[in-house]
Amino acid sequence: MPNMLAHIGAQGFLTRTLLPKADLKLILLGCFLPDVPWVLARVFQGLPFGIDPYAIRLYAITQASLFVTLFVCGAIAAVSVHPRRVFAILALNVVLHLLLDALQTKWANGVHLFAPFSWEILNFELFWPESMPTYVLTLLGLTFTVWLWRQGIEEPPALSPISLKKLIVSIGLFVMYWILPIIFLNEPLRENNHYVKTLQAKNERVGQYVEFDRVEYKKGVNEDLLVSFADEEIRIRNSQLGDSAQVSVRGRFVDSQTIEALAIHKHLCWFRDGSSYIGIVLLISMWGVAWGRNKKPRGVHET
């Protein structure tokens, strides 16, 4: 997926074209929401107690779908002053985020725009993260945010006075955001999304085609290894890389622990991760500063 700044660059201008008065803070939040499951997946896999990494991956795949993400958009909108407008801004940016993700080349990865009716991954593979379109969008996103920064922090967070009805609706939608991925957990497995089914069935791997998205490649003296999203080390042949790196790979299992590389792409991990961290810091900072400057939610007046 493109980095956070690239999403802001593309989505910010498109949103302001369609909704000229859209709050910049909501635009940035909408840019980030589809990535929340992947951030949480990293956190849970890093915990000391054991959680099935394949279950974590399937849960994140499902929760990151358009269908499920719209529930968290609704939960946020329910406690805002203008629920329909806030939902429209967030939902628009979630859709734009997933469409932009679908344009980028991501082996063993993609988006789900039509779930729960279809869990087939959508990926048009038009450009890599390390390419001119991504670089331009990243610079555009940084420029867009800095240019409109003052406007973003001066506009108060559009929170509504808390009422029991709004709170119940918001909590209900938020609970659905966490429960629905469990209900549909088997759907991405059935479609072999991210090749989870192939990787889980270790005794049936021989001869199976497989892809890996942005995994660690370890260059060794006697053998080279890939570290899958499940932290499993898998031997790789015919990689032709001279040093360790972050890579995407297409290959075929020649035995249960070894793949023959058919194609390999080396990533610049510092560019994508660094740009995403900057974007997330800008998002948190803008909301924090705006909240500090406007502690009183809209709609609350002194008597």
Burial class (CB in 10 A: 0-12, 13-18, 19+), 255: exposed
Going by pLDDT thresholds of 50, 70 and 90, the confidence category of residue 296 is low
* Level-2 CATH architecture, domain 203-267: Beta Barrel (2.40)
Cβ pair 160, 297 in contact under 8 A: yes
Rounded Cα gap, residues 225 and 216, in angstroms: 8
Separation in Å, CA 288 to CA 77, 90, 129, 281? 18, 18, 30, 10
**Regarding predicted confidence, which is higher, 120 or 299?**
120
Cβ pair 211, 234 in contact under 8 A: no
Q: What is the mean pLDDT of residues 117-129?
A: 94
pTM: predicted TM-score of the whole model, two decimal places: 0.93
188-210 tens-digit pLDDT = 999 999 999 999 999 999 999 99
208-267 tens-digit pLDDT = 999 999 999 999 988 999 999 999 999 999 988 999 999 999 999 999 999 999 999 999
Q: What angle do CA 288, 294, 297 make, to 5 degrees?
A: 105
- Domain ranges in the chain? 4-194+268-293, 203-267
Among 62, 97, 95, smallest CA distance to 177 is for: 62
Rounded Cα gap, residues 117 and 134, in angstroms: 31
Query: What phi, psi does 262 have (nearest 5°)?
Result: -95, -30
pLDDT at 1: 67
Query: What phi, psi does 82 have (nearest 5°)?
Result: -120, 80
47-97 tens-digit pLDDT = 877 789 999 999 999 999 999 999 999 999 999 999 999 999 999 999 999
For the chain, where are the alpha helices, taking DSSP H only?
4-18, 24-32, 36-45, 53-63, 66-78, 83-103, 132-147, 149-154, 164-183, 186-190, 196-200, 269-293
